[in-house]
């Protein structure tokens, strides 16, 4: 028997499948503990710096920045959704922006109905753009969005349903790889064109905007902004736990098996297309949730969120952060968007070049992304002194 230096147990996060309950299993994992710890600390820190530290102090975090962080967190949530299908299932979705935007539109419709008669035209029921188009009643698909519970359910159900139908057709026909990527791209492009049309009843070109209140809280108040930021953080934490629970379950290992050898997985008796569909739908719902948290923070949702470019950008975040780690996606989304904020402020024209350069550099020097770098350092640390695992992430 060959005996290279394989005496150490596997370096993968789960040396051996555990016997715990699947939803609580992630809490036993180091990566999750660190991630949740860092996220919680960041949320607390921003809250304290925003509310306790006085305005004049250089440490004070203003409402604009809180809002910006909230936006980053919703992007991070979206990146986690993409990493779940791309990193673990091997489905490169270039259309996740569509689920994000649909979740966003569901939230936008709720926010529009909350405006009530305070719109420019003062119509008690119809949003401004419908009055402008001289419609005399709400289309059927706008019914119910005056109720928060219904709208929030739609935030998850609408993207989930689209993913269910789309995924059912795609996976049943065993469309995978680059063909699936192209079809998802076409899906989001088609939706973009559709939502641009005024007759669709989603505000056409301008989308939905001029929101005022969410659940009775004024959207322009600083406290609401902080609340939305925290809500996004909590959503990110919960979704992370859910995704982590999925990938560290046996189902997660079936996903990885499918990613690496689909035919083989089918042969050992798994209905691969159903697993793909399940994870795809979960991912779409998380993307929808991300969109719904994004919209009240930026104050607008329009068809440009469906743009294929945006969906490709999401994939770049995940690639930069590191695939199949989940926390890598979060790091990537925050890093790239932070860089984007800086660059578009200083040199707006150079942003796309900078993004391209970042992508090339990371691909060449860090093929496993930023998360790969963290892992490598951790591995080096653990092999130097076996006992000091807590050294680095």
Partner 1 sequence: MSLLQSLKARDRVFDFMAPDASPVDVRHGPILYMEDVTVSFDGFKAINNLNLTIDDGELRCIIGPNGAGKTTMMDIITGKTRPTEGSVWFGSRHNLLHMNEPEIASLGIGRKFQKPTVFEALSVFENLELAMATDKRILPTLTARMTGEIKDRIDEVLQTIGLVPLRYQPAGILSHGQKQWLEIGMLLMQRPRLLLVDEPVAGMTEQEMERTAELLTGLAGKQSVVVVEHDMGFVRSIARKVTVLHQGSVLAEGSMDQVSSDPNVVEVYLGADDEEAA
- How far is the C-alpha of 242 from the C-alpha of 53, rounded, in Å? 34
The footprint of partner 1 on this chain (CB under 8 A) covers a number of residues equal to 38
Q: Max alpha carbon distance in the chain (Å)?
A: 81
CB of 11 to partner 1, least distance (A): 9
- Cβ contacts of 320 within 8 Å, gap of 6 or more: 332, 335, 336, 358, 359, 362, 369, 370
Integer Rg of the chain from CA: 22
- One-character DSSP codes across 130-199: HHHTT--S--GGGTTTTSHHHHHHHHHHHHHHHHHHHHHHHHHTT--HHHHHHHHHHHHHHHHHHHHSGG
Closer to partner 1 by Cβ: residue 22 or 135? 22
Does residue 5 bind partner 1 (CB under 8 A)?
Answer: no
- How far is the C-alpha of 275 from the C-alpha of 251, rounded, in Å? 8
Choices 63-71, 74-82, 146-154, 251-259; region in contact with partner 1 by CB under 8 A: 251-259
Query: Phi first, then psi: what are they for 218, rounded to 5°?
Result: -70, 125
- One-character DSSP codes across 95-129: -HHHHHHHHHHHHHHHHHHHHGGGSSS--SSS-HH
Closer to partner 1 by Cβ: residue 24 or 388? 24
CB of 270 to partner 1, least distance (A): 5
- How far is the C-alpha of 352 from the C-alpha of 310, rounded, in Å? 12
Does residue 253 bind partner 1 (CB under 8 A)?
Answer: yes
For residue 1, with 0-12 CB atoms within 10 Å meaning exposed, 13-18 middle and 19 or more buried, which class applies?
exposed
Q: What does the per-residue mask of binding to partner 1 show for 257-276, with x meaning CB under 8 A?
A: x-xxx-xxxxxxxxx--xx-
Does residue 366 bind partner 1 (CB under 8 A)?
Answer: no
List the one residue out of 305, 284, 248, 362 whose CA is nearest residue 80.
284
- Considering only residues 21 to 60 of the shown chain, the ones binding partner 1 according to CB under 8 A are 21-22
Does residue 137 bind partner 1 (CB under 8 A)?
Answer: no
CB of 255 to partner 1, least distance (A): 10
Choices 20-28, 68-76, 220-228, 313-321; region in contact with partner 1 by CB under 8 A: 20-28
Choose which of 132, 278, 343, 359 interacts with partner 1 (CB under 8 A): 278
CB of 276 to partner 1, least distance (A): 10
Cα 205–316–93 angle (5° rounding)? 70
Closer to partner 1 by Cβ: residue 286 or 336? 286
Closer to partner 1 by Cβ: residue 88 or 310? 88
For residue 131, with 0-12 CB atoms within 10 Å meaning exposed, 13-18 middle and 19 or more buried, which class applies?
middle
Closer to partner 1 by Cβ: residue 12 or 55? 12
Does residue 124 bind partner 1 (CB under 8 A)?
Answer: no
Report the SS3 class of residue 209.
strand
CB of 25 to partner 1, least distance (A): 9
With residue 370 as reference, give the H or E element that holds it: helix 369-384
Choose which of 5, 19, 55, 134 interacts with partner 1 (CB under 8 A): 19
Closer to partner 1 by Cβ: residue 112 or 324? 324
Choose which of 124, 134, 149, 250 interacts with partner 1 (CB under 8 A): 250
CB of 229 to partner 1, least distance (A): 32
Closer to partner 1 by Cβ: residue 197 or 274? 274
Does residue 283 bind partner 1 (CB under 8 A)?
Answer: no
Closer to partner 1 by Cβ: residue 74 or 248? 248
Choose which of 131, 138, 183, 251 interacts with partner 1 (CB under 8 A): 251
Does residue 246 bind partner 1 (CB under 8 A)?
Answer: yes
- How far is the C-alpha of 159 from the C-alpha of 99, rounded, in Å? 5
The residues binding partner 1 (CB under 8 A) are 1-3, 6, 9-10, 12, 15-22, 246, 249-251, 253-254, 256-257, 259-261, 263-271, 274-275, 278
């Amino acid at each position: 028997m060959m005996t290279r230096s394989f005496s150490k147990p596997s370096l993968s996060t789960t040396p051996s499948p555990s016997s715990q309950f699947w939803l609580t299993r992630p809490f036993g994992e180091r990566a999750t503990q660190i991630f949740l710890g860092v996220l919680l600390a960041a949320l607390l820190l921003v809250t304290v710096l925003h509310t306790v530290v006085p305005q004049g102090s250089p440490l004070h975090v203003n409402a604009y920045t809180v809002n910006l962080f909230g936006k980053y967190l919703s992007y991070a949530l979206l990146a986690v959704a993409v990493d779940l299908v791309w990193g673990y299932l091997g489905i490169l979705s270039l259309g996740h922006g569509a689920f994000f935007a649909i979740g966003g539109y569901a939230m936008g419709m709720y926010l529009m109905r909350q405006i009530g008669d305070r719109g420019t035209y003062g119509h008690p029921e119809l949003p401004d753009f419908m009055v402008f188009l001289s419609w005399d009643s709400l289309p059927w698909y706008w019914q119910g969005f005056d109720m928060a519970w219904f709208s929030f359910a739609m935030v998850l159900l609408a993207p989930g349903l689209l993913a269910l139908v789309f995924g059912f057709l795609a996976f049943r026909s065993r469309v995978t790889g680059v063909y699936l990527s192209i079809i998802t791209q076409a899906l989001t492009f088609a939706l973009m064109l559709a939502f641009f049309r005024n007759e669709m009843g989603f505000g056409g070109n301008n989308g939905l905007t001029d929101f005022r209140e969410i659940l009775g809280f004024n959207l322009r108040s600083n406290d609401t902004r902080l609340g939305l930021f925290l809500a996004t953080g909590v959503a990110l934490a919960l979704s992370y736990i859910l995704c982590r629970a999925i990938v560290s379950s046996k189902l997660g290992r079936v996903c990885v098996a499918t990613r690496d050898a689909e035919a083989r997985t089918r042969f050992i008796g798994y209905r691969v297309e159903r697993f793909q569909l399940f994870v795809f739908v979960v991912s779409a719902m998380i993307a929808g949730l991300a969109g719904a948290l994004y919209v009240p923070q930026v104050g607008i949702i329009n068809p440009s969120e469906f743009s294929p470019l945006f969906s490709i950008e999401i994939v770049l975040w995940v690639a930069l952060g590191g695939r199949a780690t989940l926390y890598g996606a979060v790091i990537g989304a925050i890093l790239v968007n932070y860089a984007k904020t800086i660059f578009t402020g200083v040199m707006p024209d150079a942003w796309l070049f900078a993004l391209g350069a970042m992508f090339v550099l990371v691909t060449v020097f860090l093929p496993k992304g930023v998360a790969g770098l963290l892992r490598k350092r951790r591995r080096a640390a653990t092999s130097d002194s076996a006992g000091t695992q807590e050294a680095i992430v």
